[in-house]
Amino acid sequence: MNVVGSRPDGWWRDRRAAMERLTSLLDAFATETGDPLTVVFDGGPFDLSPQSVEVAFATGRGPNAADHDIAARVEQDPDPGSITVVTSDRQLADRVRAAGAGVAGSAVFRRRLDELAT
């Protein structure tokens, strides 16, 4: 949701549509780059049907639910150094760095997605 929220385009009026748009951009990015991508959303699950992106929904509820799942995935991965987490949340960034992952800023990554889409 940090990537969705990096652009004040009214996404908060329809979070589901914003998630669908982001998933579509991520799918195109993954297809273009060949990079494996996983997106973890807050909220209740619904079908997004991407071709090249793993979509997960937070297993818990409340503030930072997706962040907790993202950090747990990094901490449990046998090669956390191969993971880059895209976030603008300082606590999540600190936690995944401590586990060995890299971090990329949400706004910078969103610009990359937008450039690919044009």
Count CB-CB contacts under 10 A for residue 45: 10
Say what the pLDDT of residue 1 is.
Answer: 72
Query: At 12, is the pLDDT very low, low, confident or very high (cuts 50, 70, 90)?
Result: low
Length of the chain: 118
Q: Is 38 helix (H, G, I), strand (E, B) or coil?
A: strand
CA distances (Å), origin 28, targets 43, 50, 79: 23, 9, 25
Mean pLDDT of the chain: 90
pTM metric for this prediction? 0.88
Domain boundaries, the chain: 4-117
